[in-house]
Amino acid sequence: MSVALVAAALLAAGMALVRYAPERPPGDGDARPVPSSPASAAPGRETLRDLMPPGVKIGSAVDGRGLSLEPAYRALLGTEFNAMTAENAMKWRNLEPLPGVYAWTGADQLVDFAHQHGQAVYGHTLVWHSDVPKWVSPDWPADQVRAVLQEHVTTVVSRYRGRVWAWDVVNEVLDEDGTLRDTLWLRKLGPGYVADAFRWAHAADPGARLFINDYGVEGRTRKSDALLKLVRDLRRAGVPVDGVGFQSHLRWDQPPRDLTGNLRRFAQLGVSVAITELDVRVALPATPQKLERQATLYRQVLRACLAVTACVSFTVWGFTDARSWIPGYHRGYGAACLFDGSLAPKPAHAALLDELRRQLPRAASPSPG
């Protein structure tokens, strides 16, 4: 079936698709646009973005359905955070369901909303083993696999050049034992695909900050040791790795070991660090005691980020339990977010506000010397 016929069929089914045409923001493509003023919060209510110190973004992953259909979700997202990450809208399967046929609507909506509300956009994710479109065949020769991967990275980053401040370039590249994960990209292209992806992304938008992102690396583990070595080796080879993202999908009763020290050792490599996907799941039912322990862990992660100068952003993976991925993936767990299913703030939200207030005198004090 021709691309035109496929596109017509999908459009008839209600899917907004366009053929790729490179787009650039008006004016200098390297310039970051100045966002408009944020929407006002409820009178007298402090928000996380109100209290976050300069230089550190506070963000949330964004559920596309909530953004499209739920005014209360949109209002809270727009007032509480000054950054956002696409939970699914920028993943390859969603962006290019068929070769050369792009569905930009969800990602464009998120980027437009962010800039209307004075929010930065963190792009997620360009290369991920769990998000390879079905039309990309493992039977293709290496040259074809490399070409389609390069085209994907270049196309997506170029479209949002100047409008996305950072990208997860490669996501979950390591296995649990610290070795490179066995993926289509590794099998066909060898370990050099990681460096190639960063170089392609940098060429498409030299002003974007480029991150490597993974889970299970928040504390000192075998996997985080391996990630440290990988980032060190990449940077020594001149690969433009600007930052390391620590996903931080945590359990309420299992804090990471030496999170602050771990962030600092990565920062010593000369990269930025970021908490990219924080949620803290609790064993159901969620009792007040469990929610207090959850709140303590949220506070500890924020404190660790703020203690490390190189920590540039702190992002929760969804802000409401109504839109959380946790119950569908971790059976018997839930209540992982800052707001409950009715968008009422939970103790974890109060703990973050309190921690930020405690940081205010320190942030306002002049540095010695």
Residues 343, 304 contacting (CB under 8 angstroms): no
Question: Which pair of structure tokens corresponds to residue 330?
Answer: 């971790």
Q: Which residues, in sequence order, are bridge partners of residue 337?
A: none
Instruction: Return the amino acid letter for 225.
Output: D
> What's the CA gap between 228 and 244, in Å, rounded?
9
Question: Which pair of structure tokens corresponds to residue 233?
Answer: 């080796």
Phi, psi (deg, nearest 5) at residue 314: -135, 110
Give the catalytic positions in this structure: 172, 277
Residues 110, 68 contacting (CB under 8 angstroms): no
Residue 264's SS3 state is helix
**How far apart, in Å, are the Cα atoms of 105 and each of 15, 90, 157?**
9, 10, 16
Residues 181, 129 contacting (CB under 8 angstroms): yes
Question: Which pair of structure tokens corresponds to residue 32?
Answer: 């970051």
- Report which DSSP code applies to 174: B
As a residue count, the chain comes to: 369
* Helices of type H across 81-221: 92-95, 105-116, 142-159, 184-189, 193-204
> What's the CA gap between 188 and 220, in Å, rounded?
31
Nearest by Cα to 244 from 311, 163, 153, 157: 311
Residue 248's SS3 state is coil
Nearest by Cα to 24 from 33, 15, 36: 33
